[in-house]
Amino acid sequence: MARVFSLSIHPTRFSRDLRALQVPQLFLKNLPENFFRLSYEARRSYIPVTIMATTLQPQCSKSASHFFSTKPSNEVLEIWRNADAVCFDVDSTVCLHEGIDELADFCGAGKAVSEWTNKAMSGSVPFEEALAARLSLFSPSLLQLQDFLDKRPPRLSPGIAELINKLKASNTDVYLISGGFRQMIKPVALQLGIPGENIFANQLLFGSSGEFLGFDTTEFTSRSGGKAVAVQHIRKVHGYKSLIMIGDGATDLEARMPGGADLFICYGGVLLREAVAAKADWVVLSFEDLSNALK
């Protein structure tokens, strides 16, 4: 007796296994455009078949092809290849993790802080409110921070070092703009050969005994819209004709504004946020795509 199958796909989390991070891009590119809508039902009986895409971690339930394109226009490619400066988000972009989440987990408050991070990155709450709320949940001491940096060094996203080397070789200036903390980003910048003055991030404050006091509210990135202001500042100071912002969150998307970034490239290799990807000029799931496009 012939039977008709019901086929569905349920994306879960992107694996942090470096070997698995290349899978989403290849997987999605080879699927037909209407793959996720495939559903056939027999009137009398059917056999449900489910494919679990265990290497995926999107923040959405739609097919990727429904809300963003991984194929840039010729105009976007031209700007990318001739950019004077490229600004990178750090957490879940240059690095595989969200720094504050990792530090919170190290201090025993990982789950609660992670929930606030998702709110902040989706743009549902003011960034400064989310930052203060997250820090108040675990109030890290200077000793805890130093211990964390010793025991959990930064984990770079696959292909980011090669991409940054290619950009620098073509005389493109590289910046790190983050809502994270300078103390945690400096080791990343050092590893990638990015000068300290090209870091725009927050600063944790400690007392004379190493007790947590808060964060420096004068930093550009300490508040909502801060990354956009940082990008505008960089462009104005250096007189760049073209500048690009690359990141995964709503705060990165904000940088594409008058006097700010000419392009926003959404990097979805760690986290894929539908609302952000839908408004990006280009969505990439691998830094290799950006490197190859420079050729």
Successive 10-residue mean pLDDT values, the chain, 295 residues = 40 36 42 42 35 36 54 96 98 95 94 80 78 93 98 97 98 97 97 98 98 97 94 97 96 93 97 93 97 92
Please give the C-alpha separations between residue 84 and each of 177, 190, 202, in angstroms, as whole numbers. Answer: 16, 21, 25
Residues 6+ apart with CB under 8 A from 154: 95, 97, 184, 187, 188, 191
DSSP 8-state symbol, 197: G
The reported pLDDT for the residue numbered 67 is 60
| pTM confidence score | 0.77
The reported pLDDT for the residue numbered 54 is 32
> Angle at the Cα of 107 (from 104 to 111), degrees rounded to 5?
45
The reported pLDDT for the residue numbered 127 is 82
Residue 58: count of CB within 10 angstroms of its CB: 19
The reported pLDDT for the residue numbered 117 is 75
The reported pLDDT for the residue numbered 123 is 66
Rounded Cα distance, 189 and 284, in Å: 22
What residues are labeled active site?
Answer: 89, 91
The reported pLDDT for the residue numbered 224 is 87
The reported pLDDT for the residue numbered 1 is 46
Rounded Cα distance, 181 and 260, in Å: 22
Please give the C-alpha separations between residue 112 and each of 66, 192, 206, 279, in angstroms, as whole numbers. Answer: 32, 31, 23, 29
Pick from 95, 87, 122: nearest CA to 256? 87
Residues 6+ apart with CB under 8 A from 43: none
DSSP 8-state symbol, 152: S
Question: 3-state SS of the chain: helix, strand, coil percent to 5?
Answer: 45, 20, 40
The reported pLDDT for the residue numbered 30 is 46
Are 205 and 216 spatial neighbours (Cβ–Cβ below 8 Å)? yes
- Secondary structure class of 204 (helix, strand, coil): strand
